Amino acid sequence: MSSKLIAPSILAADFGNLQRDIEMVNNSEANWFHIDIMDGVFVPNISFGMPVLKVISKHAKKTIDVHLMIVDPDRYIKTFADLGSNILTVHYEACTHLHRTLQAIKTEGMKAGVALNPHTNINVLEDIIKDIDLVLVMSVNPGFGGQSFIENTYNKVKQLKDLISRKGASTLIEIDGGVTNKNAKALIDAGADVLVAGSYVFRSENQTKTIKDLKAIANS
Ligand code: DX5
Ligand code: ZN
């Protein structure tokens, strides 16, 4: 079994000490940087944009996993590629021509991800799963860090895992929102490959150790 990955969410970092927090992730056992871009339209919050991502890219030494919570993401695919994104995830709910969007992301040399809101059923991905490198299952409503985990996520992850194997796809499953040491193992057992963790990591006393422990749980 391939090893399970941890992606700290920079949304919960200390923006006054961003370089320090990026170096902490660089020097930890984390695998990816998870970057949340919010436009205040698709979600009721605005996070940060291109200048901040540019700084993150400059210092980050690991995979940059960008989660776009924006309407009409097609407008910015090339911009995010140029800013150093390795994985670009768009929301299913924000894309009218999802197949075209995924092809455009791949054409720019990035891995293509699709995020599902908590209310969106897995079966909408039946006809597109083989074209998706990563499905991000939202385990909270997108827009804010620090919310509590929605329990129905376990069922969704199991259904998604089943869809992926039924179709012979090699899509990774990423979980985003309210991930802690309490639900990490059950999420992995349900079929998750990547766990995003924001406040659980950055609000902890010893962030490096929190990442190490979460990774150990995920791979136990
Ligand atoms: C929420 C974002 C998440 C968020 C997770 O809209 O997509 O990535 O940063 O934060 P926690 O881990 O605090 O729920
Ligand atoms: Zn996210």
- What is the model's pLDDT at position 48? 98
CA 72 / ligand 1 centre spacing (Å): 21
Residue found by looking up tokens 């992995």 in the block: 188
Residue 102 has pLDDT above 70, yes or no: yes
Other beta carbons less than 10 A from residue 152's beta carbon: 11
Q: Measure the CA–CA gap between 6 and 62, rounded to whole angstroms.
A: 11
Residue 38 has pLDDT above 70, yes or no: yes
CA 100 / ligand 1 centre spacing (Å): 27
pLDDT tens sequence across 173-210? 999 999 999 999 999 999 999 999 999 999 999 999 99
Q: What is the CA radius of gyration of the chain?
A: 16
Catalytic residue among 21, 36, 65, 133: 36
CA 44 / ligand 1 centre spacing (Å): 14
Residue found by looking up tokens 């924000």 in the block: 94
Reported pTM: 0.98
**Both structure tokens of 218:** 């995920």
Instruction: Identify the DSSP state of 195.
Output: E
- Residue 138 corresponds to which amino acid? M
Q: Measure the CA–CA gap between 50 and 195, rounded to whole angstroms.
A: 24
- What is the model's pLDDT at position 154? 98
**Share of residues in the chain with pLDDT > 70 (%):** 100
Nearest protein Cα to ligand 1, atom 9:
145
Cα atoms in the Cβ-side hemisphere of radius 13 Å centred on 149? 21
Q: Which domains does the chain have, with CATH numbers?
A: 5-218 (3.20.20.70)
Residue 87 has pLDDT above 80, yes or no: yes
Measured over the CA atoms of residue 115, residue 118, residue 121 and residue 122, the dihedral's sign is positive
| Ligand 1 atom nearest to CA at 147 | 14
- What is the model's pLDDT at position 1? 64
Residue 15 has pLDDT above 70, yes or no: yes
Q: Measure the CA–CA gap between 168 and 39, rounded to whole angstroms.
A: 35
Catalytic residue among 21, 65, 133, 176: 176
Q: Measure the CA–CA gap between 63 and 121, rounded to whole angstroms.
A: 28
pLDDT tens sequence across 41-69? 999 999 999 999 999 999 999 999 999 99
- What is the model's pLDDT at position 112? 99
**Share of residues in the chain with pLDDT > 90 (%):** 99
CA 140 / ligand 2 centre spacing (Å): 10
Residue 176 known to be catalytic: yes
Position 2 confidence tier, pLDDT thresholds 50, 70, 90: confident
- What is the model's pLDDT at position 22? 98
| 123-137 per-residue burial string, b: 16 or more CB within 10 A, e: under 16 | eebeebbebbbbbbb
- Residue 220 corresponds to which amino acid? S
Kindly state if the Cβ of 200 falls inside 6 Å of ligand 1.
Answer: yes
The residue to mutate among 36, 70, 179, 207, having the most atoms of ligand 1 within 8 angstroms of its beta carbon, is 36
* Ramachandran category for residue 156: left, alpha or beta (phi over 0 → left; psi -120 to 50 → alpha): alpha
Q: What does the CA dihedral 58, 134, 121, 215 come to, rounded to 10 degrees? A: -80
